């Protein structure tokens, strides 16, 4: 059975607006044998997806083996599933996970995080000060060489073909 739907691709402008508005996504990792998904807060600025990832736990074994990742951000309205309510939007970012350790880039990253989270500049100064003491151990990461794609729909229509 084939299906046909009215789910359009998002424009680059719509992808940017969606990523700037939202704050949570799922990081998908694979180590060649298994897959692992982690819900994470993110921030987005100037075409770059930023994440804070602790250096502890199962995820680091995956990251050490394979830095290729996918990060999905999605949104559905509270009334999703009610009769006639099947609106949704998603954006997927694919690329290479890269630890940010350069002090100047760390400073820019922290400022971008404050802005995305709606905080005044300087709100994360104490955090930045701590990170800059040992930048090689930074928990700030970015997805480099990233490609972004998105889809979304209002009033989804699905047709089934025999």
Residue among 87, 10, 102, 91 nearest 44 (CA): 91
Report the number of distinct structural domains present in the chain. 1
157 domain-assigned: no
Find the domain containing 51 and state its range.
9-99+140-151
Instruction: Indicate whether 14 belongs to any domain.
Output: yes
pTM attached to this predicted model? 0.86
Q: What digits encode the pLDDT tens for the residues 106-153?
A: 999 999 999 988 999 999 999 999 999 999 999 999 999 899 999 887
**Looking at the domain assignment, is residue 54 inside a domain?**
yes
pLDDT category, 105, cuts 50, 70, 90? very high
Instruction: Provide the pLDDT for residue 155.
Output: 61
Does 41 reside within a domain?
yes
User: How far is 22 from 42, CA to CA, in rounded Å?
Assistant: 8
Residue 22 lies in a domain: yes
* CATH number of the CATH domain containing 64: 2.30.110.10
122 phi, psi to nearest 5 deg: 100, -10
């Amino acid at each position: 059975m084939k299906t046909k739907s009215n789910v359009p691709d998002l424009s680059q402008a719509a992808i940017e607006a969606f990523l700037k508005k939202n704050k949570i996504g799922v990081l998908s990792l694979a180590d060649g044998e298994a897959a692992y998904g982690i819900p994470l807060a993110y921030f987005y600025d100037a075409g770059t997806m930023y994440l804070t990832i602790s250096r502890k736990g199962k995820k680091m074994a995956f990251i050490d083996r394979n830095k290729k990742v996918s990060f999905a951000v999605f949104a559905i309205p509270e009334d999703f599933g009610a009769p006639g309510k099947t609106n949704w939007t998603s954006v997927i970012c694919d690329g290479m996970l890269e630890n940010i350790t350069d002090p100047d880039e760390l400073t820019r990253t922290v400022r971008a995080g404050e802005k995305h989270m709606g905080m005044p500049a300087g709100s994360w100064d104490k955090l930045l000060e701590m990170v800059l003491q040992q930048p090689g151990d930074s928990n700030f990461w970015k997805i480099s060489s990233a490609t972004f794609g998105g889809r979304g729909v209002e009033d989804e229509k699905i047709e089934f073909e025999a």
